[in-house]
Chains A and B, each alone.
Chain A
Amino acid sequence: MSSNSEKIENAKIALDRHTREIVQWHFDPATGTPFWLDHAKNWGWDPRTEVQCYDDLDKFEFFEDEWLRGGDVRRWVPKAFANDPIYTFETGGSTGVPKSRININDFRTDYELFSQTLSDASFPRGGDWLMLGPSGPRRLRLAVEHLCQHRGGICFCVDMDPRWVVKLIKSSRLQEMHEYKEHVVNQGLTLLRAHKGISCLFTTPKLLEALCERVSLVECGIKGVFCGGTQLTAQFHRFAREELLEGKIDFVPTYGNTLMGLACHKPFDPADNYSVIYHPPSPRAMIEVVDPDSPRNVVEYGQVGRARLTTLTKEFFMPRFLERDEGVRTRPCDAYPWDGIADVRPFSGFASPIVEGVY
């Protein structure tokens, strides 16, 4: 068995073991999640005995994110954590009730694991950060701040409400949208100019463009940019590296959401031709690229399919959720010996387009 094959096999073994542990946890009457315990009453089968490996999660129906809209949020809190301080992070919510996911430490764990992938040269230990992205009830704000603190820095933040941006776009109030973007960017610029210790930046693609329209981040002393929140195309990736960041600042794109966590970008390799390839934080979460018409089936490598997410933490169990994105299935790589997804974009199978790219 080659070293690479061995790593892939070991990762699969770890994923199967982790799956068993998480399913046991969420369906154990002592520690489990009220939502799942209640749900399982009518199934006629016991996940604790029938789920022995990751593939056995196919026995579950597809997770419906509508379950997360409204109702008693405490039904999502595992009994074992009932007395812990609980966060609720929201996603969606431009109109109607947002989806809520409870959190205790997951966001910290996810970002501490992500921190291990960052280079100390680009994201210096002790360097301060600017968090220029969605704030409010989103996990990203706290997560980036924790990442910064975990690396010994202090995080400067601004407010940004993406729901307002979505409303402006949907109602074609583009001028107001740009004014709001300027308002956000101006605050970021003020912080960058006032605090010379800021060397790391989290921001979204649109805000990065708007920032770089006004200043050279190289001259501002930025060493590394962690970028996410919306779709990143291969051409944007190249543009960001070569032009916005002048070829002198590290650029780390990520893909994630409140429900899954954070997927890391495969280390930059010119051979990938700027394709943005993400790998999930296995075994805590998985991304699979599935046939949209038959979403139990994973597509072949190199084929486009819909992103299917699975979250496996003690705080949150989300099997087989069909995300509103699509992408290309990619092979495991050295750093991440499990499948990845490339060129993620909004799922083209919906009847009406999704408003995205709003940050």
Chain B
Amino acid sequence: MVRIPILRQGCAYESVEQATLVHHATREPFALVDQANSGMVRRDILLMDDNVLDSFSIADLIEIARKAGQLFVSASLPLGETQQSFDNYIGQLSATTGMPVAYCRNNAKKISGVLDEIESVLTGLTRGLDMRVLDRGYRAASGLNLNFYRAGRIFGAVLPSNSPGVHSLWAPAIVLKTPIAVKPGREEPWTPYRIIEAFAAAGIPREAMGFYPTDHAGAGELLRSVDRAMLFGGGATVKPYENNPNVELHGPGYSKIILGEDVVDDWEQYIDLMASSIDANGGRSCINASAIWAPRHTREIAAAVAQKLATHRALPADDPEATLAAFTNPAVAEQINAAIEHGLSGGGAVDLCREHRGSDRLARLGACSYLLPAVVRCDSREHLLANREFLFPYASVVECPENEMPDAIGPSLVATVLTRNEALIRTLMNHANVDRLNVGAIPTWKISWDQPHEGNLFELLYRQRAFQIEPAA
């Protein structure tokens, strides 16, 4: 069985306690993950050298990141006492997360792509700052001296298991000269471990990177001990940190598609866009749409999207046609399904996808449980199911007058607004409810490297300082 150690300042450490990961299909033990006690996490972080990357130039780090991105998708890299090929990684990732192999490969490419495009990412994060300023400490630009200092001496990340693509969000911290300490999601230690090993193989000092599989208490210690952090999790997980400016929260997305008055009569043109926003990547990401808002035609829109999504089937993860992730814990699928059924039982909402499919949402294939897509048309935007997000392709379809939408949609990580109405666009632009605004037929999941959303890692890690220097004589 594969054993994944803790990486304490980059060095493997085997704990006396391990968590056992099972293969989602066989339910057989598949990997042992060494568990860090919370005190160890804090002790190590306090002992980390926060200047260990300062001797690298940003240009060097960009090159290292590119190399790491290539190694990530091609090299044989250490995994505990063994070596892990890229194909091993994909197989292992799929085994413990239930994610289709094809999606695992796509997500790996996304991570590699971010590392390859890291310069564009940094440009987006810094709005075009000449990154050499971080090497020199200051520079004269447009007649002004710019000086930044790194407030995030050690950066921490408490990571999820739902989608490997999210790991592209924290990896740029290393290029921004910041040592990292990460806690992987329980079922998905594979990706952060491999990213760290790829960076090490590309030239980052191992002591700049810590990997701490741990429990809830350990995650809390990690967040407390680092200077700046990123936290992924559900509403209850992120709530205690809502007012902590040092922790960037990645909670539920509640991403949405919004149709304006001017285009809603042409809704049929957008069915593919809406379906794709809901089901891409197995519908497990916070950037998947979980609601469609329109001023009318919601019954027809829901029916058409449902018809399209009803074609998804439960297939083994290694089937090239697989599009849905299996639930590694069948009880979770049952709980989600029960929550939806509870919402439907009160009336005022109907799952049109189930009607089209003619079969239950909860499907079983061998030992695996799946949730087949749900498109729930709600009579009211106050309905229990109108603003929900689940770990499978799920969307509500809600009717709402256009002028009420900006206030009514609530916090939305991504909003794709389909309209040419400048007033609506401007209102949404000015509204705090939307974190990333796509204007036009752009799927909610489509990311532009130079457009950071859900927080800005550079702004989290760096602070600008007022700075003057006496001109040279």
Interface residues of A (CB under 8 A from B): 172, 174, 178, 205, 209, 212-213, 233-236, 238-239, 243-244, 273-275, 357
Contact = CB atoms under 8 A, between A and B. Distances in A.
Contacts of A236: 37, 39
A244 to B, nearest CB: 7
Nearest to B240: A172
B239 A234 contact: no
Interface string B165-180: 0000000000000000
A274 B37 CA distance: 13
A275 B239 CA distance: 35
Contacts of B46: 213
A213 B42 contact: yes
Contacts of B42: 209, 213
Contacts of A273: 16
A358 B217 CA distance: 11
A235 B16 contact: yes
Nearest to A356: B217
B364 interface: no
A275 B16 CA distance: 9
A209 B42 CA distance: 9
B40 interface: yes
Interface of B: 15-17, 35-40, 42-43, 46, 217, 220, 224, 239-240
Contact of B37 (A172, A174, A213, A239): A239
A231 B285 CA distance: 36
Contacts of B240: 172, 174
A243 B17 contact: no
20 contacts: A174-B220, A174-B240, A205-B39, A209-B38, A209-B39, A209-B43, A212-B43, A213-B46, A233-B37, A234-B16, A235-B15, A235-B16, A236-B37, A236-B39, A239-B39, A239-B40, A243-B40, A243-B43, A244-B43, A275-B16
B105 to A, nearest CB: 35
A357 B38 CA distance: 11
Contacts of B217: 357
Which of B36, B39, B42, B240 counts the most chain A CB atoms within 10 A?
B39
A243 B8 CA distance: 13
B108 to A, nearest CB: 31
Nearest to B244: A175
Contact of B17 (A172, A174, A178, A233): A233
Nearest to A357: B217
Contacts of A209: 38-39, 42-43
Contacts of A213: 42-43, 46
Nearest to B224: A178
Contacts of B17: 233-235
A174 B39 CA distance: 16
B40 A172 contact: no
Contacts of B43: 209, 212-213, 243-244
Contacts of B35: 235
Which of B17, B46, B239 counts the most chain A CB atoms within 10 A?
B17
A203 B39 CA distance: 15
B224 A174 contact: yes
Contacts of B40: 235, 239, 243
A235 B40 CA distance: 9
Nearest to B18: A235
Contact of B39 (A172, A244, A274): A244
A147 B183 CA distance: 41
Nearest to A353: B216
A25 B194 CA distance: 66
Nearest to A232: B37
The 6 closest A-B pairs by CB, nearest first: A209-B39, A172-B240, A235-B17, A235-B37, A234-B16, A236-B37
Contacts of B224: 174, 178
Contacts of A233: 17, 37
A320 B268 CA distance: 69
Nearest to A209: B39
Nearest to A173: B240
Nearest to A234: B16
B220 A238 contact: no
Contacts of A205: 39
Contacts of A244: 39, 43
Contact of A274 (B16, B36, B220): B16
Contacts of B15: 235
Contacts of A235: 15-17, 35-37, 40
A247 B40 CA distance: 15
Nearest to B239: A172
A258 B43 CA distance: 32
A174 B35 CA distance: 23
Which of A174, A235, A357 counts the most chain B CB atoms within 10 A?
A235
A245 B264 CA distance: 69
Contacts of A243: 40, 43
Nearest to A206: B39
Nearest to A178: B224
Contacts of B220: 174
A346 to B, nearest CB: 12
A357 B217 CA distance: 9
A91 to B, nearest CB: 22
Contacts of A212: 43
A348 to B, nearest CB: 13
A233 B39 CA distance: 12
B473 to A, nearest CB: 48
A21 B15 CA distance: 46
Given A172-B240, A238-B16, 10 more contacts: A172-B239, A174-B224, A205-B39, A209-B43, A213-B43, A233-B17, A235-B16, A243-B43, A244-B39, A244-B43
Nearest to A274: B16
A244 B38 CA distance: 13
B382 to A, nearest CB: 28
Which of B42, B43, B239 counts the most chain A CB atoms within 10 A?
B43
A235 B38 CA distance: 10
A210 to B, nearest CB: 9
A30 B38 CA distance: 53
A174 B46 CA distance: 19
A357 to B, nearest CB: 6
B35 to A, nearest CB: 7
